[in-house]
Amino acid sequence: MQKIVLITGATSGIGLSCARKFAENGNHLIITGRRKERLEEITTEIIQKYKVKVYSLHFDVRDKEAVAKAIASLPDEWSKIDVLINNAGLAVGMNTIQEGVLDDWERMIDTNVKGLLYISRSVLPGMVERKSGHVINIGSIAGKEVYPNGNVYCATKHAVDALTKGMRIDTVHDGIKVTQIAPGAVETEFSIVRFKGDHGKADAVYKGFEPLHPEDIAEVAWFVTTLPANVNINDLTIMPTAQASAGVFHKEL
Ligand code: NDP
Ligand code: 8X3
């Protein structure tokens, strides 16, 4: 069955791979992000390649008015969202708390926690009204464990873990599925953003082992939406084979 799938942060990495995967399987997409040009390029690519419909919404998830306005602006044919993938997120910086950069903290908390909430607040009422829908929150191994200098990023992903559980409890009487996917190291633009454009530092994160690829996460996100109506996957932690926990890697350097 063709579904309408809204993916936040679809301009790169996991979100972009999810967009391609869901389109490949014949679903119509609402893709969002801040980088308008990329959204336009991706829209054209996906429509041409997969022959599905794509609607793009350009906004910052930290801006609550923009989020509400964007979702409310969806034409009727796009308003019945079947699957919401709360993926937009980022890490900024790696410091101890005593040396932390307040602006980095605010960017992470506002994007990963408040942004996810603003989107969910706008999309969930329609799902509840229709008694149907699936929310997939992209958490992280950082939402299960804490590692040195990861403090605030880990806190935001622990919040995603808690919000996923809360969302499931709040919507259980309405037939909504809520799933968290919590990946370990995935090679995307994530580390370039975390290290503020320092490609050397970003590349070093993935040296000496094969990290997850964003397509691996998209495959699983797609899988969880293919299960029968009575089956929900609550929580999946997905790691590279060479990563045992947040800080333990087998690296051949
Ligand atoms: P990328 O940097 O490649 O993608 C992040 C996406 O989020 C981009 O599309 C970006 O779009 C969007 N985004 C970021 N901030 C905002 C904002 N304020 N408003 C709207 N969109 C925003 O990284 P990943 O694909 O790796 O990250 C996706 C998710 O996966 C994140 O939640 C991350 O925490 C999580 N994750 C990543 C892991 C990894 O190792 N890579 C592991 C575990 C979880 P734009 O810049 O156009 O706004
Ligand atoms: C991203 C992976 O290990 O940097 O969530 O927390 S990690």
In a domain, 119, yes or no: yes
pLDDT digits (tens, 9 = 90+) for 83-140: 999 999 999 999 999 999 999 999 999 999 999 999 999 999 999 999 999 999 999 9
Residue 65 clears pLDDT 90, i.e. is over it: yes
What's the predicted TM-score (pTM) here? 0.99
Q: How confident is the model at residue 167 (pLDDT cuts 50, 70, 90)?
A: very high
Report the nearest-CA residue for atom 6 of ligand 2. 142
CATH number of the domain to which 30 belongs = 3.40.50.720
Q: Is the pLDDT of residue 1 over 90?
A: no
Mean pLDDT of the chain: 98
Q: Is residue 199 part of a domain?
A: no
Residue 155 forms part of a structural domain: yes
Q: What is the pLDDT of residue 198?
A: 98
User: For ligand 1, is residue 86 a contact (CB within 6 Å)?
Assistant: no
Range of the domain at 34: 4-89+108-182+214-238
Domain contains 41: yes
Nearest ligand to the CA of 190 is: 1
Number of domains in the chain: 1
Q: What is the pLDDT of residues 8-17, one digit of tens each?
A: 999 999 999 9
| 100 lies in some domain | no
Q: Which of 6, 7, 12 to mutate to test the pocket of ligand 1 (most atoms within 8 A of CB)?
A: 12
Cβ–ligand 1 contact at 88 (below 6 Å): yes
DSSP track, 51-107: ---EEEEE--TT-HHHHHHHHHTS-GGG---SEEEE----------GGG--HHHHHH
Is the pLDDT confidence value at 29 over 80?
yes
